[in-house]
Amino acid sequence: MDADIIAKQRNVMKEQSLDALVASSPENLAYTTGFVVPSQLLMRWRHAMCLVDRSGRTTMVAIDMEESTVKAHATFDDIRVYREFTDDPMREVAAALDARGLAGARVGVEMEYLPAGDFATLRGLLPKADFVAADGIFGKLRQVKTAREIDLLRRLSRITDSAIGGTLAHARPGMTEMEMAGELTGRIFAGGAEHFKLMIIASGERSQFPNVGPTDRALRQGDLIRMEIFGVLDGYHAGVCRTAVVGEPTEEQARIWDNLVECKYLVMDLIKPGAHAREVYRRFLDKFDELGLEPISFVGHGIGVFLHEEPYLGRYGEEVLEEGMVVAIEPLVYIPGRMGLQNKDMLLVTRDGCELLSDATDTDKLIRIG
């Protein structure tokens, strides 16, 4: 458990006049406790929840079959275990609040995650409590990373980038997307990731599609290959995408890629504390528009326990960047019916600029295969 995260939660409770925060989603539970409860991701009714009160004391509510896992991964002031099929986890949450003298307190809960039936049960058990939506509070807290989070994301970014770069370095004409997927997953686990999400391997005409998985399609001369994956460690995500070409790129492909690389370095130059998210996007468009192609509505987004978090570097972005934020930037082009090129990197906002976290692969030129 990250003491700095608990301290941040205590501070926001004081600011928002809250007496406790209850993390219930897999993402905010990982954020609060520092680990993932395995089956919570698979079966929503298997609630795992962590209560933090204003004094910083913690209570974990967990299902009986994962009691040993929870105790092995973090230390809590109290652990309350419920039996599957016979016990209601909301009763344990209510009992934990009551034991802390918070039966009539102001408590932040995740309204966007907690099922309506469970919330109704909790409210019925504690009719004097004032339950307020804490989804936005958690989201704001997660934007600026702690030292532990930064170290984790720096390591995970390099693991993810190295896995993609290594896979593309060993790809050859005739190799199928599925075969590349096998190598990519092997490399990401061998590098130290615990899991991955949203693996995209799209070659040739399939490179135009934004979020598609691998098929039996074999690489052919002249193909573009878009390869993206989110490596996962302790519930945190690092998103990296690289584009390669089998053989030599066409003049058009090289021209587009040169623009995307210029966009990358432009955005990196703009990212610093005090920069406005929408202004970064506007300046990106000045360069991207030279291609005469349709842009997506953002060029970057925050990342952490969620794949996409605030701040969004886009046309609707209202955030001001702060030191300690981690963003994924992704200059990209999708040309319907023809091709797609994308370069996605992980960046840390530093005191006076930014640090490239995904620095294992040289992307200044299209990666060549064959």
**CA separation, residue 141 to residues 57, 157, 334 (Å):** 18, 21, 34
Q: Is the pLDDT of residue 53 over 90?
A: yes
Q: Rounded mean pLDDT of 244-250?
A: 97
**CA separation, residue 140 to residues 97, 136, 137, 311 (Å):** 24, 6, 5, 9
φ, ψ of residue 236 to 5 degrees: the values are -95, 155
Q: Rounded mean pLDDT of 46-57?
A: 96
**pTM of the model as a whole:** 0.95
Could you tell me the domains of the chain? Answer: 3-142 (3.40.350.10), 147-369 (3.90.230.10)
Q: For position 74, what pLDDT does the model report?
A: 86
Provide, rounded to the nearest whole percent, the portion of the chain with pLDDT above 90: 95
**Residue 11: other Cβ atoms inside 10 A:** 12
Strand order of the sheet with strand 224-233? 195-203, 224-233, 236-246, 367-369
Q: For position 38, what pLDDT does the model report?
A: 86
CA-derived radius of gyration, the chain: 23
Res. 44 pLDDT band, cuts 50 70 90: confident
Q: For residue 269, what is the enclosing H or E element?
A: helix 251-270
Q: Rounded mean pLDDT of 249-262?
A: 98
**CA separation, residue 87 to residues 23, 91, 100, 210, 247 (Å):** 20, 8, 21, 43, 61
Q: For position 260, what pLDDT does the model report?
A: 98
Torsional sign, CA 171, 177, 179, 184: positive
Closest CA to 233 of 313, 346, 366: 346
Q: Rounded mean pLDDT of 121-143?
A: 98
Mind listing the pLDDT tens digit for each residue in 163-189? 999 999 999 999 999 999 999 999 999
Task: For residue 145, count CB atoms less than 10 angstroms from its CB and return exposed for 0-12, middle for 13-18, buried for 19 or more.
Answer: buried
Mind listing the pLDDT tens digit for each residue in 316-328? 989 999 999 999 9
Closest CA to 195 of 316, 320, 307, 91: 307
Provide, rounded to the nearest whole percent, the portion of the chain with pLDDT above 70: 100
Closest CA to 291 of 244, 248, 334: 334
* Cα Dmax for the chain: 70
Res. 213 pLDDT band, cuts 50 70 90: very high
Mind listing the pLDDT tens digit for each residue in 327-336? 999 999 999 9
Res. 120 pLDDT band, cuts 50 70 90: very high
Q: Rounded mean pLDDT of 260-273?
A: 98
Q: For position 93, what pLDDT does the model report?
A: 97
Q: Is the pLDDT of residue 299 over 90?
A: yes
Cα atoms in the 13 Å half-sphere on the side-chain side of 165: 17
Res. 43 pLDDT band, cuts 50 70 90: confident
Q: Is the pLDDT of residue 40 over 90?
A: no
Mind listing the pLDDT tens digit for each residue in 337-366? 999 999 999 999 999 999 999 999 999 999
Q: What would the two tokens of residue 172 be?
A: 């050859």
Q: Is 1 helix (H, G, I), strand (E, B) or coil?
A: coil
Res. 139 pLDDT band, cuts 50 70 90: very high
Average pLDDT, the chain: 96
Cα atoms in the 13 Å half-sphere on the side-chain side of 91: 8
Q: Rounded mean pLDDT of 268-287?
A: 98
Q: Is the pLDDT of residue 161 over 90?
A: yes
